[in-house]
Amino acid sequence: MLQVNDIHTWYGDSYVLQGVTLEVKDGTVVALLGRNGMGKTTLLITLMGLTRVRAGRMRWRGADLAALPTHRRSQAGLGWVPQERFMFPSLTVEEHLTAVARPGHWNVARVYEVFPRLAERRGNFGNQLSGGEQQMLAIGRALMTEPKLMLLDEPSMGLAPFLIQAIMKIIRKLNEQGTTILLVEQNAKVALKLADYGYVLETGQIVIEGDGATLRQDESIVKAYLGGGH
């Protein structure tokens, strides 16, 4: 589905992605792990076209992804859930969903089935939601764009443990229903419980990769590259 081959990206004078290569197969959950500042978010925004690739190739279902502007990448099936969530204070929950809606499987009623709490809060503005509710809405909003591949950036950040468990169960369910997931996480143990395959990013390079179960069971990897995995 997605192939990234030897990608190099800069922020100004900062050399962030230093030859990243990875693959996301259709129907899988792939975890991209690493400490803060290693380049995980940069990879996602590069996939979405918000930074320019200086070298390397990105292919989406065989086509050149780098040739597409950001809105065309979304139309092609990339759905982005940013770490910041980007709630609009002037839009209600329901307006967040309808503003980006495309024809297809997902509609407001289906999102409310996945996130009943959002149905209860449908008339509230984005800045009136808790952190967990904002995360639910960010995922729901991305679903309304009919994604084939969901790019999730730190969905557990700032959430209580019980909410993290709830969000991860939802991610698993979405994958079981056919959405492919690229999951960026610091919480390695949580992410690797979901992941079919995982990559560990260290200073802009992939240093370890393997199937999720193998990486989860290797405590040396978790301690060396992920700060203990929380």
Q: What is the pLDDT of residues 147-161, one digit of tens each?
A: 999 999 999 998 999
| Average pLDDT score over residue span 60-68 | 94
pLDDT of amino acid 36: 87
H or E segment to which residue 33 belongs: strand 29-33
Distance, in Å, from the CA atom of 170 to the CA atom of 51, rounded to the nearest integer, reads 29
Distance CA 151, CA 143 (A): 11
pLDDT over 60 (residue 11): yes
- Cα dihedral 226→11→29→3 (10° resolution): -130
Confidence of residue 229 (pLDDT cuts 50, 70, 90): very low
110-138: average pLDDT: 96
Return the axis-axis angle of helices 161-176 and 131-143, rounded to nearest 10°: 10
Q: Band of the pLDDT at 194, cuts 50, 70, 90?
A: very high
C-beta neighbour count of 92 within 10 angstroms: 16
Percent of the chain with pLDDT over 70: 97
pLDDT at 38 over 50: yes
Give span(s): CATH 3.40.50.300, the chain: 1-77+149-161+178-230
Q: Indicate whether 230 pLDDT > 50.
A: no
Over its C-alpha atoms, the chain yields an Rg (Å, rounded) of 17
Q: Is the pLDDT of residue 43 over 90?
A: yes
Q: How many CB atoms lie within 10 A of CB 205?
A: 15
pLDDT the model gives residue 145:
96
Please tell me the predicted confidence (pLDDT) of residue 76: 95
Buried b (16+ CB within 10 A) or exposed e, 64-83: ebbebeeeebbeebbbbbbb
Query: E strand or H helix at 209, and its extent?
Result: strand 205-211
Q: What's the confidence (pLDDT) of residue 187?
A: 85
pLDDT of amino acid 35: 87
For 1-77+149-161+178-230, CATH gives 3.40.50.300
Q: What is the mean pLDDT of residues 121-126?
A: 97
Within 10 Å of residue 97's Cβ, how many Cβ atoms? 22
Backbone φ and ψ for 26, nearest 5 degrees, come out as -55, 130
Q: How confident is the model at residue 226 (pLDDT cuts 50, 70, 90)?
A: low
